[in-house]
Amino acid sequence: MTRQETNALVAQLTLEEKAGLTSGKDNWYTKAVERLGIPAVRTSDGPHGLRTQSGETNSLAEGSSVPAVCFPAACATAASFDRELLRQMGEELGRECQALGVDVLLGPGVNIKRSPLCGRNFEYFSEDPLLAGELGAAFVRGVQSQGRGTSLKHFFANSQEHRRMGVSSEMDERTMREIYLPAFETVVKEAQPWTVMASYNKIGGTYSTTNRKYLTDLLRREWGFEGLVTSDWGATHDRPAAVAAGCDLTMPAEDTDGEIVKAVQEGRLAESDLDTCCERLLKLAFRAAETRKKGAAFDYEGGHALARTIAGESMVLLKNEGNILPLDKGADVAFIGPFAAAPRYQGGGSSHINSFKVSSAIDAAKALGLSVRHAVGCNEDGSTTDELLAKAAEAAKAANVAVVFVGLTDAMESEGVDRRHMNLPEGHNALVKAVCEANSNTVVVLHNGSPVELPWVEQARAILEAYLGGQAVGEAVVDVLYGNVNPSGRLPESFPKRLEDNPSYLYYFGEGGVANYNEALFVGYRYYESKKQEVLFPFGYGLSYTTFQYSNLKLDREKMEEGKTLTASVTVTNTGKRAGKTVVQLYIAPEKVEMIRPVRELKDFDKVELAPGESKTVTFTLGKRAFAHWNPTVHNWRCESGKYAVQIGESAHDIALEGTVELSAEPIPPVGGYTVGMPMGEFSKSLKGHKFLDENIEYMVRGMAMAGFIPKEMLTLADTIPGGINLAVIDMLAQRAGNAAGGTSGVQTLMGQPLSILNSFLPQEKKDELAALIARLNQ
C-alpha cells in the first residue's frame, strides 16, 4: 500500500475508529475496520517458539496454545555465536507463523544481561551488545524473509524483573549509548523489524511507552526505524501521552479508546499525532495481509530436527579433564538426575511453548542402542532423600562413567521474578557431590538459563553447559556426549565465581522505585577483565574435542585516521584429529588516553568449520564504531588519538594474537564547543582547525598590514617566499623582525588572539567555510 493510499484511508476514519486502531481487539489481535477493508493483525508470543491459541481463542493460559516447535532459548542460541544459524531458526519460525496464521512474532529480546539474577535472562542473548545485536538482526532477517513480522523487545533498559512495571532505570548517557542501546540500534539499522516493543519500565523517570525522546527522536529520527511501536502487554499507563510520544499501538485490549477521543476533542492530543499512529498501523496491517500464504503447511518433524541441530551447535563444553568426553559408545554409562528423563528445556512465562514433542537424554540414548542405566537422585525442585541419593551413588559406582543432569527450575527462573542467588537447588548440588564421590569419572550436564555457582567444579571431570536447549535437547546432549557433534559453543556471558563478584551486585534491585546502573560501562567481562577479577569461566570461553591454532594476524595499515576502515585477517588451523568449529573473536583494546574505557571490547566474530589439518583465513573490516566511544560533550561517537590493540581471543580473557594500529582523530571539542570567539590556539588543536588556519592566515596578516597593525615591509618580505604566507612563514618573519629575541614566537603571539579577528578579514566564502567547519567539529 502506498503512502497516498494510506493517507486516503486515514482521512475516511472516524475519530472513534482512529482511537480503536491504536489499541488491541483482545490479547492477540488488533482491531479491523470492516467497512474500509482494514484487516486485523494477529500477534503471538515468542521468541523461540509460537505460543499461539487455536482459532481466535483469547486466552493467555499456556495450556490453551496449540502444539508448536520449541527451539532453544536465546541464552542457548547466543552461545552458538553463529549468525547463519539464527537466520535459519528465524526462517523456520517464519514458516511456522505462516502455517498458524500469525502475522507478528513477539521477539527477539536483546536486553543486556546486567546481572545473572534477572529472571528473564534466558530470553536474552548476552551481556555484550555487539553479540546481542548481530544475532538479533540475523533472527529478524530470517523470520521476515518468510513474509512475517517480528517485534524487537523490550525497548529498553529492561534488565530486571523486580518491580518491572514501574521501576525507573537510571544511567548516564554514555552507558546508555555504549551498552544498553547498541543491540537495538544494530537490529533496527540492519534488519528493520516490522515492530518494536516498548518496555514496562521507566527510563529517567518517564515510562517507555510515553518517552518521545527515545520512541520518536532516537528510534525513528536518528536510527531511521520505519515500522510500528507497540507497548508491551499492559505497559501503557496514559493512552494520549503514548500516542503523542510515538507508541502507535497499545496491547492488549483495554477500555481506554474514549480517553483518546476526549483528548483530541479537548485539544490535549493533536489529531495529526493520532493520524500518524494510524498510518503506521495500516502499513503493518496491509503488509501482513499481502504476505500471508493461505494454506501454508509446516513440517513439524523438520522443525524438531533443526531444533536438535541448533541445540547441539549451542552447547558449551566448560571442562573436559583427561578428555573423558566424548564417551565411548560401548561404555557402561549411568544417566542420573531429574533432568535426564524429563529435561528442563525452556523458561517460564510468556515464552513457554506447548511443545509438540520433547526428547529426553534417556530416550535418545536408548534409541541409539546405548547402554545407559538411570537413577533420579533428587526431584526437580531439589528435594531429595537419603534413599534417592544412595541409589544414585550405587548406579554411579556400577558404571564406567556417570553423567549427572542438574540445573535450575521453572520456579527459580521465570518472567516476572528475579533470582536472589546463583545457587542450584540444594538437592542438585548434593546429588553431584554424592555421584562424584561414588565415581571419579563424573560428567555434569547443566540445564539453566543464566550463570550458576558450581561448588563442585573441581570434583567433576567434565561439565557441559546445555542451557535451555529446546524440545530436542535430549537428543542434542547425547549427540555431544558421544561425539556425534563436536561442541563449538562459547559462553555469551561471564560465569563469576560468586554473585558478590558481579559489578551490579550492590545496586541491582534498586530502591524507592529506582534502579541505578552505577556500574556504568563495566557490565560483565568489561568489568572482570578491567578489574582483573578472576571468574569461573570467562565470556567467549568454550572447549572442543579438537584443538585450534591462531597465526599470521595482519592489519592492512599501521596508522589510520578517524573514520577510515581497518582490515584485519588471521589464519586459523585445526591442529587436532577431529573436524570442528571455532569462534574467532576480535577485540579492540585502547590505550589509556583521557576517557575511561573497558580494557577490551568485542568488535566482531566469525564461526568457522575446519577439517583436521585445515587452515582458513578469516577477515574482519573495522569501521569507526569499532574504535569509538560515545562522547557526552558532543553527544556523538568520537575516537581518541592513540594506539589501539587489535586482539584475537579464544575468550575475553585468553588473547592469542595482538597487533597495533595508531589512530589520529580530531580532539574532543572543549566545554562549550568550538566558537568563532575562542583563541586561535585552541582552534588549532583540531587537525582540521590547524589546517584551516595554516591555509587562511594570510588573509589576516595582509589585512592587519593594510590597517597598519603590523609593518607593511613584512608583506614585501613575505612575497619573496614561495607558497605564500602560512604559520611557518609567520614565525620566520617574526624572527627576522627581531620579535623572537627573548620572547614568544610569532605564531605563539598570534595563537593567543581570538579566531574572530581572522574571521573579520576573510572573504564571505571563507567565512562560510569556517562556519561549516566549526559546526562539523562540534558534532
Other beta carbons within 10 angstroms of residue 152's beta carbon come to 31
Please tell me what DSSP assigns to residue 689. H
Signed CA dihedral, 265, 270, 275, 277: sign only = negative
Please tell me what DSSP assigns to residue 414. B
Separation CA 574–CA 580 (nearest Å): 8
Given 232, 257, 479, 606, the catalytic residue: 232
Calculate helix-pair angle for 129-144, 182-191, nearest 10 degrees.
30
Q: Which three cell numbers stand for residue 417?
A: 521474578
| Nearest CA-CA partner of 198 in 163, 159, 249 | 249
* Residue in this structure with the C-alpha cell 549427540, named with its chain if needed: 479
* The Cα angle at residue 445 between residues 443 and 451, in degrees rounded to 5: 125
Separation CA 468–CA 478 (nearest Å): 15
Separation CA 362–CA 86 (nearest Å): 28
- Amino acid of residue 581: K
Other beta carbons within 10 angstroms of residue 369's beta carbon come to 8
| Nearest CA-CA partner of 405 in 362, 438, 369, 370 | 362
DSSP letters, 193-218, are -SEEEEPSSEETTEEGGG-HIIIIII
Give, rounded to a whole angstrom, the gap between the first and last alpha carbons of the chain.
38
Separation CA 198–CA 233 (nearest Å): 9
3-state DSSP assignment of residue 288? helix
DSSP letters, 442-491, are EEEEEE-SS----TTTTT-SEEEE--S--TTHHHHHHHHHTTSS------
Q: Over 577-619, what HEC string results?
A: CCCEEEEEEEEEEECCCCCCCCCCEEEEEEEEEECCCCEEEEE
Please tell me what DSSP assigns to residue 246. T
Q: Provide the residue count of the chain.
A: 779
The answer to whether 425 touches 381, Cβ cutoff 8 Å, is: yes
- Amino acid of residue 232: D
Please tell me what DSSP assigns to residue 181. S
Q: Return all residues near 294 (Cβ < 8 A) that are at least 6 apart.
A: none
Separation CA 280–CA 276 (nearest Å): 6
- Amino acid of residue 10: V
Task: State how beta strands 333-336 and 372-375 pair.
Answer: parallel
| Bridge partners for 333 per DSSP | 372, 401
Q: Which three cell numbers stand for residue 23?
A: 489499541
Please tell me what DSSP assigns to residue 321. G
Q: Which three cell numbers stand for residue 725?
A: 604566507
| Nearest CA-CA partner of 245 in 270, 281, 282 | 270
Separation CA 293–CA 97 (nearest Å): 10
Concerning whether 381 is annotated as a catalytic residue, the answer is no
309 phi, psi to nearest 5 deg: -60, -45
Separation CA 95–CA 627 (nearest Å): 39
What are the catalytic residues? Answer: 232
